[in-house]
Amino acid sequence: MPQREPVSYSCRDLKVKKLPKHLREPQISTDRTHLISDPVKKPRQRYVQKDGKCNVHHGNVQETYRYLSDLFTTLVDLRWRFSFLIFTLVYIVNWLFFGFLWWLIALIRGDLVHGDEEGWTPCVENLNSFVSAFLFSIETETTIGYGYRVITEKCPEGIILLLVQAILGSIVNAMMVGCMFVKISQPKNRAETLMFSHNAVISVRDNKMCLMFRVGDLRNSHIVEASIRAKLIRSQQTKEGEFIPLNQTDINIGFDTGDDRLFLVSPLIISHEINEKSPFWELSMAQMEKEEFEIVVILEGMVEATGMTCQARSSYLDTEVLWGYRFTPVLSLEKGFYEVDYNNFHDVYETNTPSCSAKELATKHRDEPLLPQLPLLSPEPKGHTFDSLETPSTQDPQNQDGEREDVDLWSDIGENNGSNAALAELPVPDSLPD
């Protein structure tokens, strides 16, 4: 097979095509809006878990000595296994330290050698080894008082050491017992009986778009001075190009009206009116599905039994906000009391809700004041409902003739959605019927 001769090229023979400028100089984009609203949504990392734990890890902390400056809080925040370990080690080290000092005094005075001789007065009677000195240290600090080992009057250094150990022992007891007491009585466990709904919903209330979620308390002892607030956490890019990955924005849930102060005896639906000041003002249903955000809700109050402040937290991702739903009623009236059915606490039902934004809905209401009223599709809870109590019967023959005209009159008002213009056109009777 004949071999091919190698072909050599020179730089003059090659024609190099010059690349365009935008390919030779790659542009580094500073626009990160695609991270805010990506058409292909990725699972968002939670900032706050559903159980209230913050998903934040503090790494590369150089100034660790700051934890020791607040030693009491550091001990309280430790896990239980480390707390028990430190609790045990502190007492054992303290007893060993003072036991060594008692043994050292006995060694210097010669009590370990001449303690059994007649006429010799030791500093501590029946202290003849390090083990006996350690036991005497435990008996002194815990005030057990077996009476076998006793300090004598002819040992001033022993008397001084006894005073020092008694004072330091009281300080150690106060600190360690105080840490355990505060750790046991922490109101974190009280927050376990405060419930948040699994989902938040968006629907129309009084012709206004509202974001709602439900809270409840399982205990009979109530939360005093309960208050609630909400934060919207999402990525944001400023006009100057600065990218803020976790920007926090307040969500108004009744600061100006006092609705953020709760009387949390039965489950309550917390409502945020989506108005001009709301971050959801211009978001429609389609835009909401493309957004990536997290709503963090914080419920605070004092525990009625202890008076300590309790805080419960939860969050809702953008996928957990349901558009066009309402919460199923859980409260019903029984004989002599109100019954709360927690089986339906997280349940929602679909309702007629426009898919436009709250801004577009408000514009439609201004342009078309006579909008048809949306039908109520609320399922009735078990037991007696409030609407069924003391309702006048329409089957009474005495009321049919006398009230038919009034029913027709108010039906006309209902068809006009209760507008002021329709009320102005109604005839005003000269006198009210008896």
Q: Kindly report, residue by residue over 269-303, the tens digit of the pLDDT.
A: 999 999 999 999 999 999 988 889 999 999 999 98
pLDDT score for 379: 54
Tokens (6 digits) for 177: 């017992």
Same domain, 256 and 355: yes
> For the residues 152-164, what does the mean pLDDT come to?
91
192 secondary structure, DSSP code: G
Tokens (6 digits) for 156: 């001033």
Q: Is residue 41 part of a domain?
A: no
Q: Is residue 100 part of a domain?
A: yes
pLDDT score for 82: 92
Same domain, 111 and 225: no
- The answer, yes or no, to whether residue 430 has pLDDT greater than 90, is no
Domain count within the chain:
2
Question: Going by C-beta distance under 8 Å and a sequence separation of 6 or more, which residues neighbour residue 300?
Answer: 226, 227, 228, 229, 309, 310, 311, 312
Look up the CATH number of the domain holding residue 161: 1.10.287.70
User: What is the full DSSP assignment across 399-410?
Assistant: HHHHHHHHHHHH
pLDDT score for 91: 95
pLDDT score for 24: 41
Is residue 331 within 8 Å of 201, Cβ to Cβ? no
As a whole-number percent, the residues of the chain with pLDDT over 90 amount to 44
Which is nearest to 212 in space by CA: 104, 100, 351?
351
Same domain, 153 and 282: no
- The answer, yes or no, to whether residue 326 has pLDDT greater than 90, is yes
Which is nearest to 186 in space by CA: 352, 311, 18, 372?
311
Same domain, 350 and 380: yes
Model confidence band, residue 369 (pLDDT cutoffs 50, 70, 90): low
CB atoms within 10 A of CB 168: 14
For the stretch 47-68, what's the b/e string if a residue is b when 16 or more beta carbons lie within 10 angstroms of its beta carbon?
bbeeebeeeeeeeeeeeeeeee
Same domain, 84 and 125: yes
User: Distance (Å, rounded) from C-alpha 410 to C-alpha 434?
Assistant: 18
Q: Where do the H-state alpha helices sit in 37-125?
A: 65-69, 71-77, 80-109, 111-114
Look up the CATH number of the domain holding residue 328: 2.60.40.1400
For the stretch 20-35, what's the b/e string if a residue is b when 16 or more beta carbons lie within 10 angstroms of its beta carbon?
eeeeeeeeeeeeeeee
Q: Is residue 44 part of a domain?
A: no
Same domain, 259 and 292: yes
CA distances for 218 relative to 193, 212, 265, angstroms: 5, 20, 9
Q: Is residue 425 part of a domain?
A: no
On the 0-12 / 13-18 / 19+ scale of CB atoms within 10 A, 360 is middle
User: Distance (Å, rounded) from C-alpha 270 to C-alpha 26?
Assistant: 50
| Mean pLDDT of all residues belonging to the chain | 78
As a whole-number percent, the residues of the chain with pLDDT over 70 amount to 75
- The answer, yes or no, to whether residue 390 has pLDDT greater than 90, is no
Tokens (6 digits) for 338: 């109100």
For residue 235, the enclosing domain spans 189-388
Same domain, 193 and 179: no
Which is nearest to 95 in space by CA: 61, 135, 154?
135
pLDDT score for 23: 41
CA angle 214, 220, 224 (to 5 degrees): 70
User: Distance (Å, rounded) from C-alpha 175 to C-alpha 169?
Assistant: 10
Q: Is residue 205 part of a domain?
A: yes
Higher pLDDT, 331 or 117: 331
Same domain, 170 and 135: yes
Q: Which of 184, 207, 224 is the last residue of a domain?
A: 184
* Per-residue pLDDT tens over the stretch 166-223: 999 999 999 999 999 888 888 888 888 999 999 999 999 988 999 999 999 999 888 9
Same domain, 231 and 332: yes
Q: Is residue 61 part of a domain?
A: no
> For the residues 124-146, what does the mean pLDDT come to?
89
- The answer, yes or no, to whether residue 378 has pLDDT greater than 80, is no
* Per-residue pLDDT tens over the stretch 233-247: 999 888 888 999 999
Provide the whole-model pTM: 0.65
On the 0-12 / 13-18 / 19+ scale of CB atoms within 10 A, 371 is middle
- The answer, yes or no, to whether residue 137 has pLDDT greater than 90, is yes
Same domain, 85 and 203: no
Q: Which of 153, 184, 215 is the last residue of a domain?
A: 184
191 secondary structure, DSSP code: G
User: Distance (Å, rounded) from C-alpha 44 to C-alpha 414?
Assistant: 46
Same domain, 262 and 356: yes
Q: Is residue 225 part of a domain?
A: yes
Same domain, 207 and 332: yes
For the stretch 317-327, what's the b/e string if a residue is b when 16 or more beta carbons lie within 10 angstroms of its beta carbon?
bbebbbbbbbb
* Per-residue pLDDT tens over the stretch 41-84: 567 789 999 988 898 888 887 777 787 788 888 888 888 999 99
Q: Which of 348, 370, 388 is the last residue of a domain?
A: 388
Q: Is residue 272 part of a domain?
A: yes
